[in-house]
Structure 1
Amino acid sequence: MKTAVLVIDMQQGLCEGEGKAFDCEGVIERINRVTRKARRAGAPVIFVQHESTAGYLEYETPAWQFATGLKVEAGDIRVRKATPDSFLRTNLEAVLKQHCVESIVLCGMHTEFCVDTTTRRALALGYPVTLVEDAHTSAGNAALTPQQVIAHHNATLTNISSFGSRASAVSTDGLEIAV
C-alpha cells in the first residue's frame, strides 16, 4: 500500500509569540525524522500551508513561511489551503491520486483544528491514516492544556470506525513507512 506523509501547517507564525504551540522545536525535530523516513522509502512528502487573505498567516509573509528548522526539500510537494480541511478547495486529493497513494501518515498542527479535520476527511475519503502521536501539537485552549488536546485526539481519532477506513496512532520511533 503506497503511503504519503502529510505535514500540516508547520509555519513560523504558529511557532512563536504568545499563541505559540506546545513543544514546537521537539515536534519539528520529530517531523524531520518522519519525512526523512518517507524520503528514504520513496514516499511522497506533502507540506500543507494554511493562509489567509489578510493579516495573520497571509500568503508569503514571514508568519506564513515554514517553521524554522523544518526540513523541506525541492522534491517535496506543497499544498496551499484556507480552511482546517486540507482537502477542501485544494488539489490534495488529486495529488494523492496522481501518486497512487492509498494511505496517509499525518503530523503537524493544530491538533484540534487542521489535524483533526484533515484526519476525518481522509478517513471519509477512504484513506487509512497513521497519526504520528508525538508529532502533532496544539497551543491548548481555555479548557485543556496542549498535552490534553494531543492525548484526547490520539485516543479519539483512533476510535472512529464509522468511516470504514481507520486511524491508528504510532510514535515517531515506531513508524514504518511502506510504499
Structure 2
Amino acid sequence: MVSGDRSVLLIVDMQQGAVSGCFQEKEAIQRVASLVERARGKEVPVVSVVHDPVGAGTTDSELVRGLTRLPNEPVIRKEYRDSFTRSDLTPDFDRLGEKLLVAAGDQSDFCIRITTQRAAVLGLDVTRVVDAHTT
C-alpha cells in the first residue's frame, strides 16, 4: 500500500474454482494473503470481487483456502471480466472515497488487466501487484 494515499486493495476472483490449477497457485495465494494482512494492518479497505458463474452454489465459488474475508469487507459479485461492469464496485469506490486501486488476484491476463484498465479510465490511480496474481 502507498502511504498517505487513500487506497483500496481489490482482490479479484480468488475463488477455489478459479485458482485451482493455475500457474504458481500456492505461491500466488500466499502472496495475496500476505498483501491482505498488510493492508488490514494499515487500515486499507479490502474489497473482494468474485466471478458469479464460477462454481455457483458449490465450494468452487468460495475464497481459496488461506485467504479470509472479514465481515465488514465488501464482496462484489460480477459476471464479466471487467469487475466494474454491472456490479456494485463503482458505488463502493464512491462511498469509500478511494482514489488508488491496488489490484491482485487471479488471471492477470484477463480479469486483472481488464479491471485495472477500466479503473484507469474511471480516473483511479492503479497499481497492479506484479507477483500477487496467477498469470
Deviation of residue 58 (structure 1)?
A: 3.6
Matched, 1:6 2:10: yes
Counterpart Cα distance in 2 of 1:127 and 1:6: 12
User: Where does the alignment leave 5 or more consecutive residues of structure 2 unmatched?
Assistant: none
Counterpart Cα distance in 2 of 1:125 and 1:15: 27
Counterpart Cα distance in 1 of 2:67 and 2:25: 10
CA contact (8 A) 2:107 2:134 kept: yes
Task: Give the counterpart letter for 1:100 in structure 2.
Answer: G
Deviation track 1:11-47 (CA, whole Å, cap 9, x = no partner) reads 101233xxx1111111111111111111111111000
Match of 1:86 among 80, 83, 96: 83
User: Where does the alignment leave 5 or more consecutive residues of structure 1 unmatched?
Assistant: 139-179
Task: Give the counterpart letter for 2:6 in structure 1.
Answer: K
Matched, 1:126 2:126: no
Deviation of residue 48 (structure 1)?
A: 0.3
Q: Percent identity?
A: 32
What residue in structure 2 maps to residue 68 of structure 1? 65
Deviation track 1:26-83 (CA, whole Å, cap 9, x = no partner) reads 111111111111111111100000012xxxx142312111111112222221000000
Task: Give the counterpart letter for 1:5 in structure 2.
Answer: L
Please state whether the residue corresponding to 2:61 is helix, strand or coil: coil
Matched, 1:106 2:110: no
What residue in structure 2 maps to residue 142 of structure 1? none
Please state whether the residue corresponding to 1:63 is helix, strand or coil: helix
Counterpart Cα distance in 1 of 2:81 and 2:105: 12
CA contact (8 A) 2:17 2:55 kept: no
Report how many aligned residue pairs link the two structures: 131
Deviation of residue 5 (structure 1)?
A: 0.2
Give the structure-2-normalised TM-score: 0.92
Q: Which has the larger radius of gyration?
A: 1
Counterpart Cα distance in 1 of 2:19 and 2:122: 30
